[in-house]
Structure 1
Amino acid sequence: MIRRKHALLLLPLLTVAACAGPAGTESGPTATGDAGFVQTAFQGGMAEELAAGYATSKAMAPATKSFATRMLSDFDNMNAGLRAAATKAGITVPSSASPDQLAAINTLSQQSGAAFDKGYIAAEITRQKALLQAYQTEAASGANPALKTYAAQGVPVLESNLTAAESLSGS
Structure 2
Amino acid sequence: MKKITLNVALALFIGLVSACETKRETTEETTTTTENGMATDENVGMEMPQDTTSIVTGKPGVPVYVSDADFVAMAASGGMLEVELGKVAAEKGTHADVKKFGKLMSTDHSKANTELKDLASKKGWVRPASMLPDHQKTYDRISQLSGADFDRDYMAEMVLDHETDVAMFEQATQKATDTDLKAWTSKTVPTLRAHLDMARNINSSVSKK
* TM-score, with length taken from structure 2: 0.66
Aligned to 2:96: 62
Alpha-carbon distance between aligned partners in 2 of 1:153 and 1:100, rounded to the nearest angstrom: 26
Structure number with the bigger relative contact order (C-alpha 8 A, sep ≥ 6) is 1
Q: After the TM superposition, which parts of structure 1 deviate over 4 Å for at least 4 consecutive aligned residues?
A: 27-31
Query: 166, 180, 191: which is aligned to 1:132?
Result: 166
Aligned to 1:170: 204
Aligned to 2:110: 76
What do residues 120-156 of structure 1 show as CA deviations (whole Å, max 9, x unaligned)? 0001011111111111111111000111111111100
Q: Using a 3 Å threshold, how does the CA distance of structure 1 residues 60 and 164 change in structure 2: closer, same or farther? A: same
Alpha-carbon distance between aligned partners in 1 of 2:64 and 2:73, rounded to the nearest angstrom: 7
Q: Using a 3 Å threshold, how does the CA distance of structure 1 residues 70 and 40 change in structure 2: closer, same or farther? A: same
Aligned identity (percent) is 29
Which segments of 5 or more consecutive residues in structure 1 lack a partner in the other structure? 1-26
How many residue pairs match? The answer is 145
Is 1:161 matched with 2:195? yes
Which segments of 5 or more consecutive residues in structure 2 lack a partner in the other structure? 1-60
Alpha-carbon distance between aligned partners in 2 of 1:59 and 1:43, rounded to the nearest angstrom: 23
Query: 101, 122, 131: which is aligned to 2:135?
Result: 101
Alpha-carbon distance between aligned partners in 2 of 1:127 and 1:99, rounded to the nearest angstrom: 15
Aligned to 2:151: 117
Larger helix fraction of residues: 1
What is the deviation of 1:92?
A: 2.0
Aligned to 2:84: 50
